[in-house]
Amino acid sequence: MAYTIVNSYIPTSLHPLKAPYTMVPEYITIHNTYNDATAANEIAYMTRNTTVVGYHVAIDDKQAIQAIPFNRNAFHAGDGGKGNGNRKSIGIEICYSKSGGPKYIAAEENTVEYVAHVLKQYGWGIDRVKWHRDWSGKKCPHRIIDEGRTQSVKDRIAERLAELSNPLQQIAEDEREVDEMAEQLPQTQKDDMRALLKRAHNEKVFSVDHTSKVDTMTRGQATDLLISYVARTK
């Protein structure tokens, strides 16, 4: 994932049309553009057309472009003038959804990253993430829905949020795994390991008898021997 965050705000003269209300956001709403335009072209189109329709951010494989500040509403959710989607949610468009492919995959990955950062910034959980469909029933984001990935995309966002929220925990978990590999085997596993190594030697899988090493063997060394054993037997 790699993207540049770009601010390309619509002129304030367009606020009465596209972003007429102040907003204290409570949700994030995810869309698919249903076309193959870049984020820059998507924003340019939104800015020049004279409809009320708008959204806050468009994300492609290279950029996350913000057009409307998060303290103003945008009409993207199809739930009317007073709906929570249109009045309390940050609208995010994932580009290149019509044809899909690598550029869409990168755009979606950038969106996962971006949304996780916004959740972190507001101190929100994954429950704040909505699909356009949740507000109005429209089949959007069409590609994520068609591919049956509404849960997995949310899971990816939640996972990334957890990493952002507690980087020290991630490091601690990694270190714990390293420590475990340096530990000696518990007694029951020592007995099993000894039996396995004896058999391996008897069957001539290992030319050396390793059984005497079991008492001082680390989990890492045991794992290495197991890999060799499995690799050399059918």
Min. distance of Cβ 193 from Zn ion in angstroms? Answer: 57
Nearer to Zn ion, 88 or 199 (CB): 88
Min. distance of Cβ 234 from Zn ion in angstroms? Answer: 54
Nearer to Zn ion, 30 or 106 (CB): 30
The CA distance from 197 to 157, in Å, is 45
Nearer to Zn ion, 111 or 221 (CB): 111
User: 33 with 97: CB under 8 angstroms?
Assistant: yes
The CA distance from 234 to 230, in Å, is 7
Q: Which of residues 119-158 bind Zn ion (CB under 5 A)?
A: 132, 140
User: 28 with 117: CB under 8 angstroms?
Assistant: no
Length of the chain (residues): 234
User: 94 with 106: CB under 8 angstroms?
Assistant: no
Min. distance of Cβ 68 from Zn ion in angstroms? Answer: 15
Nearer to Zn ion, 77 or 118 (CB): 77
Min. distance of Cβ 148 from Zn ion in angstroms? Answer: 18
Angle, helices 102-122 vs 150-165, to 10°: value is 50
Nearer to Zn ion, 64 or 140 (CB): 140
Min. distance of Cβ 186 from Zn ion in angstroms? Answer: 54
Binding-site member from 18, 31, 56, 72 for Zn ion (CB under 5 A): 31
The one-character DSSP state at 198 is H
The CA distance from 23 to 190, in Å, is 63
Min. distance of Cβ 146 from Zn ion in angstroms? Answer: 14
**Tokens standing for 180?**
């475990």
Nearer to Zn ion, 61 or 79 (CB): 79
The one-character DSSP state at 82 is T
The CA distance from 19 to 13, in Å, is 10
Task: Please report, as ranges, the residues that interact with Zn ion according to CB under 5 A.
Answer: 31, 132, 140
